[in-house]
A and B are shown apart, each in its own frame.
Chain A
Amino acid sequence: MGKKDRMSGNEAVANALRQINPDVMPAFPITPSTEIPQFMATFAANGLIDTEFIPVESEHSSMSASIGAEAAGARTVTATSSCGLAFMWEELFIAASNRLPLALTLVNRALSGPININCDHSDSMGARDAGWIQLYAETNQEAYDNMIMAYRIAEHKDVRLPIMICQDGFITSHAVMNIEVLEDDVVKKFVGEYTPDDYLLNKERPMAVGPYAVSGFYMEAKRQQAEALRNVKRVALEVAAEYEQISGRKYGLFEEYRMEDAEYAVVIIGSAAGTAKDAVDRLRDKGIKAGVIKIRFFRPFPAAEITAALKNVKAVAVMDRCEGFSDHGGPLGADTISAMYQANLNAYAVNYIYGLGGRDVKVESILEVFAALQEIVSTGKVGETYRYLGLRDRKDA
């Protein structure tokens, strides 16, 4: 269906964007996402794409210009990481509330401070309530596939929301993996033209964007956004089904790995899911019924679907690559465990913080988590529900 290639995650996303050929890309460099705008500027310089690249003076301006370009009627993309996303924070809400289906390819990196360029999810998790669609990738292939599906989901008339396509900094963004790339014309046909109903440059019907709204209107606007985000679940599955036709690769809202009869489960996001799958394979070889739920869509959060997949497990460890500073756990833990409570699940649940600032997570680390779940089930004692994985002892510090 496609052709085999070897690419880093950044190169894979940039190549997906080359095939999509968006109209406008404002971007500002920040490690580890910098290569994506570099690739795009180079594609444009060599006439491979028509995209107008805007070398803005900050990430705040890259999101501001993206909002302007998308509102004007242009298919728009930007890229960033970490503090760049934090600097966009105000604008993220404005993009979503203006119902602009622009795309942001995010390469996840820890937020300062201390300043750190390696992977964790504190950047995108900080933006989880901004009204954006968020989807995550385990591998370079998934980052590529998600990028190609992104506009079909975001621009759908029942959605019209901005979309954040996330991958793990360095772990996938810079590591080269084998991937399968679709033919250019196949991607072009799949993604299609962007034809908004209303846009600033529509000469037939001028439009005003970004009103002041009093309390008589504001709440309804928010509710409509929430309903649009809810529609993402249906639209994403329709788009995934179509994508399977051209790629042979199947995608859901999340992935269930050996979950059919699992008694112990890990819920996890991003590249560490691959490590967790290896741990599960080793445990299964020993007859231990372990499984993994890998989140693809974190926004919207597929609560009912995830709890359905967890309904027969005895114990769950929810893995957050982000400290929530609630003194209670991380954001994935909060969403998953509250969904379990509402679904009347009786499983034990703990929440781990792991991999902050690029801290390695190994197969052994995940085996340690599963061992803890077995201990909880066998003793009936949960103990601390808010745990850290892979933290050095204080005496070594």
Chain B
Amino acid sequence: MSYNFKEWMNKPERLAPGHRMCAGCGGTIAVRNVLRALHEGDKAVIGNATGCLEVSTFMYPYTAWEDSYIHNAFENAGSTLSGVETAYRALKKKGKIDDTYKFITFGGDGGTYDIGLQSLSGAMERNHDMVYVCYDNGAYMNTGVQRSSATPMYADTTTTPVGKKSIGKLQNRKDLAEVIAAHDIPYVAQTTFVQNFKDLHVKAEKAIYTPGAAFLNIMSPCPTGWKYTPSDLLEYCKMAVETCYWPLFEVVEGKWILNYEPKKKLPVEEFLRGQGRFKHLFKPGNEHLIAEFQAEVDRRWEQLLYFCNR
């Protein structure tokens, strides 16, 4: 199907305006664009782990969700939606419902990489016909920017604060897309907001309409936690991809596919610069930290190329 940006953007919103998410929040952009991939007439039940998205979109007695929606707790968006999807199959088998429903759940990186990993792993391994979307903003933003296993190395967070004897988070980020790909599910993809959302559109549609379990990892910048000017959001997404910090790839039925290779891989400073959480890396004397960050980006990029047979 050819992609038309204008048509895509004019599709009816399934997350209504009026919610309380921040200006310049990547999370809502991820949600709205994933939901745009639902075909007209198809119904959906949306799941959601506890986090900014939940508390800002479903504050009693208001909801921003046009579709049926369930928030259960922080760590169980995977298993909760697996129950909903199973109920659908059970009721359909008994002839109690006849419509087509799709099942999509959203979690931040805290609810997905960390506290919800077991529940997610179970739901993926059982191959429920659902999509788990992680809007990865690289920290526990809802509780005030604490580190997660998705937080990049050296980031300044409130539980890895930069100080006289601290250079921020010491560990590399966990590669969750690879972890989920190891579950041998039909579809895994990593994306962010680039190419006028074409990459996200294609992947969301594939994820939703591939039978069985699918996982989308969407880098979704957070102005509060990353400390950048909200209007620069798309620039950070572009730099994340152009520096190969956040490569665009898919794993389809176990086959790794690289979706984009920059003509000229930019140095990682182009992504780090301007973000408050990495400000200390640019102080004189810390050049080696950027070099180490670059080495880690390079190592992962090489590994990805190897996975993709490049």
Contact = CB atoms under 8 A, between A and B. Distances in A.
B94 A23 contact: yes
B75 interface: yes
B63 A211 contact: yes
B61 to A, nearest CB: 7
A383 interface: no
B43 A208 contact: no
Given A210-B71, A212-B54, A72 B79 contact: no
Interface in B93-116: 93-94, 96-97, 99, 101
B86 interface: yes
Given A57-B125, A60-B119, A203-B43, A217 B61 contact: yes
A57 B118 contact: yes
Contacts of A201: 45, 68, 84, 87-88, 91, 97, 101
B122 A56 contact: yes
B25 interface: no
A90 interface: yes
Interface residues on A, range: 35 or more
A71 B84 contact: yes
Contacts of A72: 45, 83-84, 87-88, 91
Nearest to A193: B96
Interface in B58-78: 58-61, 63, 65-73, 75-76, 78
Interface string B120-160: 01100110000000000000000000000000000000000
Interface stretch (A10-18, A61-69, A305-313, A341-349): A61-69
Given A67-B80, A72-B83, A61 B119 contact: yes
Chain B contact residues, majority secondary structure: mixed
Interface string A49-83: 01110111110111011111111111010000000
A397 interface: no
B55 interface: yes
Contacts of B63: 208, 211
Contacts of A91: 72-73, 76
Contacts of A64: 72-73, 76, 79-80, 83, 119
Interface in A158-208: 200-203, 206-208
A246 to B, nearest CB: 24
Contacts of A71: 70, 83-84
Given A54-B82, A68-B80, A209 B87 contact: no
Given A72-B88, A203-B43, A212-B58, A24 B83 contact: yes
Contacts of A209: 69-71
Contacts of B59: 211-214
A288 interface: no
Interface string A84-99: 0000001100100000
Contacts of B45: 72, 200-201
Contacts, number: 168
Interface string A25-62: 01000000000000000000000001110111110111
Given A201-B68, A201-B101, A50 B93 contact: yes
Contacts of B71: 209-211
Nearest to A67: B72
Given A76-B83, A203-B43, A209-B70, A54 B58 contact: no
A94 B60 CA distance: 15
B174 interface: no
A90 B61 CA distance: 23
B255 interface: no
A36 to B, nearest CB: 18
A55 B88 contact: no
B79 A69 contact: no
Chain B CB within 10 A, most for which of A23, A52, A70, A210? A210
Contacts of A94: 72-73
The 10 A-B pairs with the shortest beta carbon distances in the complex, nearest first, are: A68-B83, A65-B83, A57-B122, A61-B79, A72-B87, A74-B87, A210-B71, A64-B76, A69-B83, A211-B60
Interface of A: 23-24, 26, 50-52, 54-58, 60-62, 64-74, 76, 90-91, 94, 200-203, 206-214, 217
22 contacts: A23-B90, A56-B122, A57-B79, A64-B73, A68-B47, A68-B70, A72-B91, A74-B86, A74-B87, A91-B72, A200-B68, A201-B87, A201-B97, A201-B101, A203-B99, A206-B66, A206-B67, A208-B65, A208-B68, A209-B71, A210-B54, A212-B59
Interface of B: 43, 45, 47, 54-55, 58-61, 63, 65-73, 75-76, 78-84, 86-91, 93-94, 96-97, 99, 101, 118-119, 121-122, 125-126
